Structure 1
């Protein structure tokens, strides 16, 4: 919703107090980011390996967030949480990664002052990306589904779908070759 309802197009929509709907978006975004950090922390604790240019920053961000025990209740507290540039983690299941969002290095072209990435514009090679073994496995499963779909369509379209599946497998293979445990990544 944050990407679809950016401040330029929805200022004043569903206005609540001074911040309107965007205050509620901050709360929901902060909750989702806290849950993403908890999942990364749990995955690292059970031995999942992690890869990507932002691995160290993401692990530090996940460790610095207290265990999720409830909800951030105010838009002000949520906004304060979201300005921790580089330490707030956003799950992007469509791109099979977690974004340790840092505006200055984001390739998704976020607005100046954005508190979250533009998940619809996620780019390969972004310095904010990390992947876990679970992301790599999900990318392989997606590639398998694409291959099954490619078998059911005409050849030119099927070839294009198979190339896309190959890119997802290459992404998972790159993770496998670069992945390391959390202890190694932080040291």
Structure 2
């Protein structure tokens, strides 16, 4: 979600349903026409096991972004292990950077609550 107007539109639209997906550290503001989780499936609910990072239905909270950073840190620590084969360690390090980038994008694009002027 990028603007306060978008947030108001989402929350005020009774045809949209919001699904929390803690495993993927995101929320799905489900719109069947934009869903990437099931292009051929005729169901009217998201496939939360198939979330795609480029899906237009994705939204994140600050809590989700914090989870991304914590997971990135754990992956980075694992990648530093001498016991891991180098290709696996490199893959873990790349995934950690991808998660950090998602958290940075959230921080940059997030909606800040503003108090009304007095």
Distance 1:104 1:145 in 2: 36
* CA deviation string 1:56-112 (max 9, x = no partner): 443335xxxxxxxxxxxxxxxxxxxxxx64x21111112211101111110111522
Distance 1:121 1:181 in 2: 29
Normalization by structure 2: what TM-score? 0.80
CA RMSD of aligned residues (A): 2.3
Query: Highest Rg: 1 or 2?
Result: 1
- More helix by percentage: 1
Task: Sort the Cα spacing of 1:133 and 1:123 in 2 relative to 1 into closer, same or farther, 3 A.
Answer: same
Number of the residue aligned with 1:19: none
Number of the residue aligned with 1:132: 61
Number of the residue aligned with 2:107: 176
CA contact (8 A) 2:2 2:111 kept: no
Note if 1:158 corresponds to 2:89.
yes
Alignment length (residue pairs): 110
CA contact (8 A) 1:57 1:100 kept: no
Uncovered stretches (5+) of structure 1, i.e. residues with no partner: 1-50, 62-83
Task: Sort the Cα spacing of 1:173 and 1:95 in 2 relative to 1 into closer, same or farther, 3 A.
Answer: same
Normalization by structure 1: what TM-score? 0.53
Distance 2:8 2:95 in 1: 29
